[in-house]
A and B are shown apart, each in its own frame.
Chain A
C-alpha cells in the first residue's frame, strides 16, 4: 500500500521525539489508578464499611452524577471503578485528544508535515503513525492499569474489563479528534471541539445515570461503565466502543483524501478590509484573539451549568425521608445534600473556567514563540502592556465564565423545580473561585517570565488541581499537599459559609505572582529562547 509508505519510520520518529510527553501522560494515569486502590483499601478497611457506603451511595445523586451508576460498590474493585472510572476516562480522553491533535493537525498547521509529505511518504503515513502511537499509549495505560489492579489482589475479570474500557474510550476520542482535525484548519479548534465532545460525554453520562440509564448509552464513558467492571462483567458494550472507534477513524480517512494539505473542509472566508475601532490597542487585540475560545468555553460552561441545575431538585428526592442517611452523607459539616451537590458542581465548572484562564495566560508565551510578539513589541507597546492585556482577558474572562456557570446552574435549578431564591447563592458559590483563577494566571505568567520553556507546566497544574479535587480524599494524599491546590482553599459554597480570609490571601498571592512574572518578562530576552 503506497499510501502508507514510511509509516514505520515516522512512528519511530514520533516515539523518539515525544518520548517524554508520552511518559508524562501514561505514568501519572497508571500511578493514580494504583494509588486509588491503596486509598480505597484504607478508607474502607472492613466489609461492613463497604456495605454501609454501598447502601448509602444508592441514594446519593451527587456522587452518582459525578462518578457513575452505583454498581459493585460493596467490593474494593467496584469502589475503585466508581471513584476513578469517570475521571480517569476523561483524562485518557484528553490524552488522546492532545496527542493526536498535535501529531496531525498541529504538524500540518506548523508546516512541518509539508516537508515530510514531500519525501517518499504515503498520504496516510503520518496519520497512521500518529494513530499507532496514540493507540499504543492507550494500550499501555489499559494494560498497566489492569496489571496494577491485579497486583493489588483485585479480581482479574473486573481488572481486565476496567483496563480495556480505558483503552477503548481513549481510542474513541482519538477517532473524534482525527475526524475533527480533517474538518478544521486550526489545531486550537480541534482541541476545543474534541474537548467539548468529552464534556458532552461526561454530561450525558451524568444525566443518564441519575435517570433510568438510557441516556448514558450515548456517552462513550457511559457505555464503558455499562460493562460493569467488578459487578457482573459483560463484554458486549465494549464492542460498541470498538465499532465507534473504527467508524470514526474510517470516516476521518475518507475525508482526508478529499482535501488539500493544510486545508480544512471548510474554506476560509474573506473578512473585513479594515480593522474595527476596537482593534487599535493591545487589549483589543488580546480580546479579539481570545474571543473565540471565550465563547467556546462559555458554551461548555453554560450547557454543563444548565444540566447540573436541572439535576439539582432530584438530589433530595433520592434520599427521601431517610434522615439518618442524609446525616451520614453530608457528614458533620452540615449543609443539605443539595448544597453539597452544588458545591461539587461548581468545582467542575470552575475547572473549566480555569482551563480558559490558563489558555489565555499562556498565550503571552505562544505569541512570543510564534514571533508575532516581535511585531507588536516593535511598535510603541511596552512588554508590560502586551502581557497585561492577555492576562486581563484571562482574569476577567474566567470570572465571566464563573458568573455564567452560577447563573446557568441557578436559573436552571429554579426552573426545574428548585427555588429561584437560590440564584444569588449559587452565583456567589461560583464567583468565590475567582481568586483561584487569578492564582493560576499568576503562576502561568511567573513561569513565562522566569523559565519560559516551562510555561506548559501550567496545564499540568490544572490536572493536579483536578486530581486533588476529586481524588484527594480517596487517595489519602497528605494534607499539606492537598492544601497547595488553590481549589482546596476556596470555601465550598453553598455547603459551607463564606470566609473572606482565604480569598483575600489568594488574591494577594495572585497579584504577587503576576507582578513577579511581568517584572521578569521585562528583564529577559524576547524570542524562542
Chain B
C-alpha cells in the first residue's frame, strides 16, 4: 500500500527547546490515522512541518511522495488543512473566507460548499469576528471538506464543536474515507479517534511511543474483569499479570494484562462463574496508562507553538 505521509527521525528545535525528538510517522494512503499525544508533545509542530511552514532540523519527511518544504505549493494543491485554533479576518464573512480558500486552492465546488454549510448549520453572512471558536472551526472544516484534496491534515479540528456537530464531522470523515482519501487526525477526543481511525500513532516529548491499529495497541494494556463466583476467589493473586485485585465475599474485581487474560479466565472458571463482566481497555485507559504515571514525574514542557485543551489526568 502506498504511503501518504512518512517521517523518520524528525528533529525540530525552537531555541533550546526540543519540540520533535526523532519523530517517526507513517500514514498509508486511504486510511484515517489518529495522531495522539499530550499537550506540548509536538503534534502541531509535526503538522506544521508537514505543511512546509517549519523546516525540520534533521530527519526525513515525505508527503505524497514530495518534500513538504521544497514542493510546498505543488503539495498544497493536493491537501487541505484545519488548524486547532482558527484565526480569521474579522471583517470578512464566513462565506467569503470559504470561497477564498476554495479559489486559492482552485477547486471551489459551490454545490458541495452549500451542502456542507447546511450540514454544519453555519451562517455564511456573519462576519468572522462575531463567530464563536466552534463556528470559526466550522469555517475551516467546510473549506477543507468542500475541497477535492486527497490528503486532509486536521489538527484537533473538533475541539470547539458541540456533540451534534461532532456527529456531523464523523459522518463527513467517513465519506472522505469512502472516497479513498487520506486523513491525519490529531485529537484529544478519544471516542472520536476510536470511532474513526484505522491506525494511530501516539507521541510523547516529540517522539513516537506507540503505533499500530487499535486492536494491536489494546494488547499492550489491561482488561478489567468483575465477576461473581461460587467459591471465594483464591489463587488469583498468585497468577502473573493481575493488578488491583479486590475480593469481597463472592465478588471479585481485578485488572489483568491482556496477554495474561487466558490463565485468569481459566482460574475463574475453576471457581464456578455466576456472572462475569469484562471491559476491553478503552483508548482512554490506554492513553492514561501510557502517560498518567510518567506525566506526573516529567517536568512540564511548554509547547512553543501554542497550548491546547488539557488532557484529563487520572
Residues of A within 8 A of B (CB): 185-186, 268-276, 279-282, 285, 288-289, 292, 370-372, 374-382, 525-529
List 24 A-B pairs, Cβ < 8 Å: A271-B96, A271-B125, A271-B127, A272-B95, A273-B95, A273-B124, A275-B98, A276-B96, A279-B100, A280-B103, A281-B103, A282-B104, A371-B83, A372-B87, A372-B88, A375-B101, A376-B104, A377-B76, A378-B81, A380-B73, A380-B106, A381-B104, A527-B54, A528-B305
Residues of chain A lying within 8 A (CB to CB) of residue B23: none
What's the minimum C-beta distance from B83 to chain A, rounded to whole angstroms?
A: 6
Residues of chain A lying within 8 A (CB to CB) of residue B130: 268
CB-CB under 8 A for A374 and B89, given A268-B129, A274-B124, A379-B101:
no
Give the complex CA separation of A526 and B52 in angstroms. Answer: 9
CB-CB under 8 A for A526 and B129, given A285-B100, A288-B92, A371-B83:
no
Residues of chain B lying within 8 A (CB to CB) of residue A529: 14
Q: Which of A271, A288, A377 is most buried by chain B, counting CB atoms within 10 A of its CB?
A: A271
B230 adjacent to chain A (CB < 8 Å): no
The answer to whether A275 and B87 touch across the interface, beta carbons within 8 angstroms, is no
What's the minimum C-beta distance from B303 to chain A, rounded to whole angstroms?
A: 11
What's the minimum C-beta distance from A84 to chain B, rounded to whole angstroms?
A: 39
Residues of chain B lying within 8 A (CB to CB) of residue A371: 83, 85, 87
Residues of chain B lying within 8 A (CB to CB) of residue A379: 76, 101, 104-105
B48 adjacent to chain A (CB < 8 Å): yes
The answer to whether B104 and A380 touch across the interface, beta carbons within 8 angstroms, is yes
Residues of chain B lying within 8 A (CB to CB) of residue A285: 100
Give the complex CA separation of A82 and B287 in angstroms. Answer: 72
Give the complex CA separation of A292 and B92 in angstroms. Answer: 12
The answer to whether A272 and B125 touch across the interface, beta carbons within 8 angstroms, is yes
CB-CB under 8 A for A275 and B126, given A371-B85, A377-B51:
no
Residues of chain A lying within 8 A (CB to CB) of residue B89: 289, 372
Residues of chain B lying within 8 A (CB to CB) of residue A289: 89, 91
The answer to whether B99 and A274 touch across the interface, beta carbons within 8 angstroms, is yes
When the two chains form the complex, which single residue of A275, A288, A525, A528 contacts B103, counting CB atoms closer than 8 Å? A275
Residues of chain A lying within 8 A (CB to CB) of residue B106: 380
What's the minimum C-beta distance from B260 to chain A, rounded to whole angstroms?
A: 47
The answer to whether B90 and A186 touch across the interface, beta carbons within 8 angstroms, is yes
Query: Which residue of B has the minimal Cβ distance to A186?
Result: B90
Residues of B within 8 A of A (CB): 14, 48, 51-55, 72-74, 76-77, 79-81, 83, 85-93, 95-101, 103-106, 124-127, 129-130, 140, 153, 305
The answer to whether B91 and A526 touch across the interface, beta carbons within 8 angstroms, is no
When the two chains form the complex, which single residue of B73, B74, B93 contacts A270, counting CB atoms closer than 8 Å? B93
The answer to whether B305 and A275 touch across the interface, beta carbons within 8 angstroms, is no
The answer to whether A270 and B105 touch across the interface, beta carbons within 8 angstroms, is no
Give the complex CA separation of A378 and B52 in angstroms. Answer: 8
Residues of chain A lying within 8 A (CB to CB) of residue B52: 377
What's the minimum C-beta distance from A207 to chain B, rounded to whole angstroms?
A: 34
What's the minimum C-beta distance from A288 to chain B, rounded to whole angstroms?
A: 7
| In the complex, the 9 A-B pairs of residues with the closest C-beta atoms, listed nearest first | A275-B99, A280-B103, A378-B81, A271-B93, A379-B104, A270-B125, A273-B95, A275-B96, A273-B124
Residues of chain B lying within 8 A (CB to CB) of residue A269: 127
Residues of chain A lying within 8 A (CB to CB) of residue B153: 378
The answer to whether B72 and A272 touch across the interface, beta carbons within 8 angstroms, is no
When the two chains form the complex, which single residue of B73, B88, B90 contacts A382, counting CB atoms closer than 8 Å? B73
What's the minimum C-beta distance from A367 to chain B, rounded to whole angstroms?
A: 9
Q: Which of B88, B95, B100 is most buried by chain A, counting CB atoms within 10 A of its CB?
A: B100
Q: Which of A270, A289, A370, A374 is most buried by chain B, counting CB atoms within 10 A of its CB?
A: A374
The answer to whether B53 and A526 touch across the interface, beta carbons within 8 angstroms, is yes
Give the complex CA separation of A270 and B129 in angstroms. Answer: 11
What's the minimum C-beta distance from B184 to chain A, rounded to whole angstroms?
A: 13
Give the complex CA separation of A371 and B48 in angstroms. Answer: 11
What's the minimum C-beta distance from A265 to chain B, rounded to whole angstroms?
A: 15
Query: Which residue of B has the minimal Cβ distance to A271?
Result: B93
Give the complex CA separation of A279 and B100 in angstroms. Answer: 6
Give the complex CA separation of A292 and B85 in angstroms. Answer: 26
The answer to whether A274 and B96 touch across the interface, beta carbons within 8 angstroms, is yes
The answer to whether B91 and A292 touch across the interface, beta carbons within 8 angstroms, is yes
What's the minimum C-beta distance from B174 to chain A, rounded to whole angstroms?
A: 23
Residues of chain B lying within 8 A (CB to CB) of residue A292: 91
Q: Can you add 17 more A-B contacts, CB < 8 Å, to A380-B104, A381-B104?
A: A185-B129, A268-B130, A270-B126, A271-B96, A275-B99, A275-B100, A276-B96, A280-B100, A285-B100, A289-B91, A292-B91, A370-B87, A371-B87, A379-B76, A382-B73, A525-B53, A528-B305
Q: Which of B55, B74, B104, B129 is most buried by chain A, counting CB atoms within 10 A of its CB?
A: B104
Residues of chain A lying within 8 A (CB to CB) of residue B51: 374, 377-378
Give the complex CA separation of A374 and B87 in angstroms. Answer: 9
What's the minimum C-beta distance from B46 to chain A, rounded to whole angstroms?
A: 13
Residues of chain B lying within 8 A (CB to CB) of residue A370: 87
When the two chains form the complex, which single residue of B53, B95, B98 contacts A374, counting CB atoms closer than 8 Å? B53
Give the complex CA separation of A185 and B130 in angstroms. Answer: 11
What's the minimum C-beta distance from B116 to chain A, rounded to whole angstroms?
A: 14
The answer to whether A375 and B140 touch across the interface, beta carbons within 8 angstroms, is yes
The answer to whether B54 and A272 touch across the interface, beta carbons within 8 angstroms, is no
Q: Which of A282, A285, A378, A528 is most buried by chain B, counting CB atoms within 10 A of its CB?
A: A378
Query: Which residue of B has the minimal Cβ distance to A368?
Result: B53
Residues of chain B lying within 8 A (CB to CB) of residue A377: 51-53, 72, 76
Residues of chain B lying within 8 A (CB to CB) of residue A274: 95-96, 99, 124
What's the minimum C-beta distance from A78 to chain B, rounded to whole angstroms?
A: 48
Give the complex CA separation of A379 and B79 in angstroms. Answer: 8
When the two chains form the complex, which single residue of A276, A281, A527 contacts B48, counting CB atoms closer than 8 Å? A527
What's the minimum C-beta distance from B155 to chain A, rounded to whole angstroms?
A: 10
The answer to whether A380 and B105 touch across the interface, beta carbons within 8 angstroms, is yes
Residues of chain A lying within 8 A (CB to CB) of residue B80: 378
When the two chains form the complex, which single residue of A271, A272, A276, A280 contacts B104, counting CB atoms closer than 8 Å? A280
What's the minimum C-beta distance from A189 to chain B, rounded to whole angstroms?
A: 10
Query: Which residue of A has the minimal Cβ distance to B126?
Result: A270
What's the minimum C-beta distance from B172 to chain A, rounded to whole angstroms?
A: 19
What's the minimum C-beta distance from A416 to chain B, rounded to whole angstroms?
A: 38
What's the minimum C-beta distance from A221 to chain B, rounded to whole angstroms?
A: 32
What's the minimum C-beta distance from A527 to chain B, rounded to whole angstroms?
A: 6
Residues of chain A lying within 8 A (CB to CB) of residue B74: 380
The answer to whether A375 and B125 touch across the interface, beta carbons within 8 angstroms, is no
What's the minimum C-beta distance from A129 to chain B, rounded to whole angstroms?
A: 26
What's the minimum C-beta distance from B69 to chain A, rounded to whole angstroms?
A: 10
Residues of chain A lying within 8 A (CB to CB) of residue B77: 380
What's the minimum C-beta distance from A368 to chain B, rounded to whole angstroms?
A: 10
Query: Which residue of B has the minimal Cβ distance to A381?
Result: B104
Query: Which residue of A has the minimal Cβ distance to B48?
Result: A527
Give the complex CA separation of A451 and B81 in angstroms. Answer: 28
Residues of chain B lying within 8 A (CB to CB) of residue A275: 95-100, 103
Give the complex CA separation of A371 and B73 in angstroms. Answer: 18
Query: Which residue of A has the minimal Cβ distance to B98?
Result: A275
The answer to whether A526 and B76 touch across the interface, beta carbons within 8 angstroms, is no
The answer to whether B129 and A374 touch across the interface, beta carbons within 8 angstroms, is no
When the two chains form the complex, which single residue of B76, B96, B98, B127 contacts A268, counting CB atoms closer than 8 Å? B127
The answer to whether A279 and B99 touch across the interface, beta carbons within 8 angstroms, is yes
The answer to whether B76 and A380 touch across the interface, beta carbons within 8 angstroms, is yes
Give the complex CA separation of A269 and B91 in angstroms. Answer: 10
What's the minimum C-beta distance from A62 to chain B, rounded to whole angstroms?
A: 40
Give the complex CA separation of A273 and B76 in angstroms. Answer: 26
Residues of chain A lying within 8 A (CB to CB) of residue B88: 372, 375
What's the minimum C-beta distance from B64 to chain A, rounded to whole angstroms?
A: 13
What's the minimum C-beta distance from B74 to chain A, rounded to whole angstroms?
A: 7
Give the complex CA separation of A379 and B99 in angstroms. Answer: 13
The answer to whether A527 and B83 touch across the interface, beta carbons within 8 angstroms, is no
